[in-house]
Amino acid sequence: MKKILAILLTVIMVFGLVACGDKKDDQAKDTDKAEEVEQDADEKDAETPAEGSGKVYYLNFKPEQDQQWQELAEVYTQETGVPVTVVTAASGEYETTLMAEMGKSDAPTLFQVNGPVGLKNWEAQCYDLADSDVVSELTSDAFALKGESGETSGIAYVVESYGIITNTTLLEEAGYSVDDIQSFADLKEVAEDITARKDELGFSAFSSAGMDGSSDWRFKTHLANMPIYFEYQADGIQDTAAIKGTFLDNYRNIWDLYVNNSTADPAELSAKTGDDSRNEFLAKEAVFFQNGSWEYSNLVGEDLFKADELTMIPIYIGEGDEANQGLCTGTENFWCVNKDAEQEDIDATLAFMNWCVTSDVGVKAMSGGEGAMPSGDPGMGFVIPFKKALESENVFVKVDADMTAAGKTPVAWTFSTMPSEEWKNGVGSALTAYAADQTDDNWQAVVTAFVDGWATEYELSNP
């Protein structure tokens, strides 16, 4: 009897261990199911014809577009027989996920870096794309990301714009139109007038400039792009080991304008999140909301805004040729191919990338809006820097196209040259402290974090 009991216990224990190791599939509630699912997957793999013989594993950066990528992968597999796995990292967890995945034997064949600084971590793993077909599809050489070795390590696959998203209806209620705002002085006048009449109008100029981790990148990264861009312009450089901070007074002016004419008390910004800010804008509590074209699907739709109620204006900081300043347009999404993958997998990956940006289905899925996916779901709505791109329905993207057509110069995304996350955190921390207590001393702390922090972090990142 005891023997039987012992055997029984052992069986249960072993089974328990197996069950523990199988938890990958969250949806499968019990182990039996999980095993069935895995078996099915195995069979499917075995059945796929070995036409292309390689396979593709894409580690996707954008959670918003996960569904579309999954569908596109399935369609591609049906068309060509090449298995494509798409895994999407959780928001803010890309670097961690990528590190873990790259260490595995079935590492991603296609992954992303966010620009030259991100590339520093991964350059050794990047396949040289210079001779691939997909590079020849790029509309401009500027979209190829070159590493220190001069190889084409990555290519941009989506171009985005940011600026100040404006609720034109509210702006008109306040007695202004978008055309009235052509410079920092105009913006300041409008914003301060709205603040003065806040109680009468029932709304503020800016939505809260939240400095919670979900929102602070709008200011420590995107807004900080402005003084860096103008400094690079003035000095005729693309990158620097030591920023001078020539235009930090302008940075202070726009930051003052944001925090002192907003829905929230500047002392409480540290606790305001990205959702808070967006919700204030959606609730028509603010006219302006600094953000990018990626916010389109969060702002336009049923129960939300109509597309013609919104527009985007450039972030003026009172520097350069403001009459001809466009939106901040650039990219921080670069595709890289894993050099350490099997050659046949690399070939399969290159073919998949090429298919995405040249085939009708792929291009439509990537740049289309409503009903652009084969299943009838909305597409990714990207502006893709490839020759076959379609016109986007995104209103902010259209604004950018119109401005460029009108001869305005887009502001480049220089923030991809910021030396590290640590630098951004330092600036963000100082900005928050300054907003709560706007003294010259506290601004000096921002300047120190900006200028000295840059030199320190640059040195630490480039030993």
Binding site for another protein (CB under 8 A): 2, 6, 9-10, 13-14, 17, 95-96, 99, 102-103, 107, 117-118, 120-122, 124-125, 211, 213, 267-268, 270-271, 340, 419-422, 425-426, 429-430, 432-433, 436-437, 457, 460-463
**Alpha carbon distance 67, 262 (integer Å):** 36
Least CB distance from residue 22 to another protein, whole Å?
14
Token duo for residue 174: 């306040």
Least CB distance from residue 339 to another protein, whole Å?
11
| 407: three-class secondary structure by DSSP | coil
Query: Which residue's CB is nearer to another protein, number 70 or number 270?
Result: 270
**Alpha carbon distance 183, 61 (integer Å):** 35
| 350 conformational bin, left if phi > 0, alpha if psi -120 to 50, beta if neither | alpha
**Alpha carbon distance 9, 28 (integer Å):** 25
Least CB distance from residue 405 to another protein, whole Å?
36
Least CB distance from residue 341 to another protein, whole Å?
12
Least CB distance from residue 457 to another protein, whole Å?
8
Token duo for residue 175: 């007695």
Q: Note whether 165 and 295 are within 8 A (CB).
A: yes
Query: Which residue's CB is nearer to another protein, number 391 or number 421?
Result: 421
Least CB distance from residue 460 to another protein, whole Å?
6
Element (H, E) at 111: strand 110-113
User: Cβ neighbours of residue 173 under 8 Å, at least 6 residues apart?
Assistant: 201
Query: Which residue's CB is nearer to another protein, number 17 or number 237?
Result: 17
Least CB distance from residue 173 to another protein, whole Å?
30
Query: Which residue's CB is nearer to another protein, number 7 or number 196?
Result: 7
Query: Which residue's CB is nearer to another protein, number 118 or number 326?
Result: 118
**Alpha carbon distance 429, 451 (integer Å):** 14
Token duo for residue 461: 């990142």
Query: Which residue's CB is nearer to another protein, number 70 or number 425?
Result: 425
Q: Which amino acid is at 291?
A: N
Q: Note whether 361 and 75 are within 8 A (CB).
A: yes
Element (H, E) at 325: strand 325-330
Least CB distance from residue 416 to another protein, whole Å?
11
Least CB distance from residue 102 to another protein, whole Å?
4
Residue with tokens 């990338």: 353
Cα atoms in the 13 Å half-sphere on the side-chain side of 388: 17
Q: Note whether 299 and 284 are within 8 A (CB).
A: no
Handedness of CA 317, 321, 324, 325 (dihedral sign): negative
Least CB distance from residue 15 to another protein, whole Å?
11
Element (H, E) at 337: strand 334-337
Query: Which residue's CB is nearer to another protein, number 2 or number 24?
Result: 2
**Alpha carbon distance 316, 322 (integer Å):** 7
What is the distance in angstroms between the CA of the first residue and the CA of the last residue of the chain?
69
Query: Which residue's CB is nearer to another protein, number 98 or number 397?
Result: 98
Query: Which residue's CB is nearer to another protein, number 298 or number 456?
Result: 456
Query: Which residue's CB is nearer to another protein, number 194 or number 337?
Result: 337
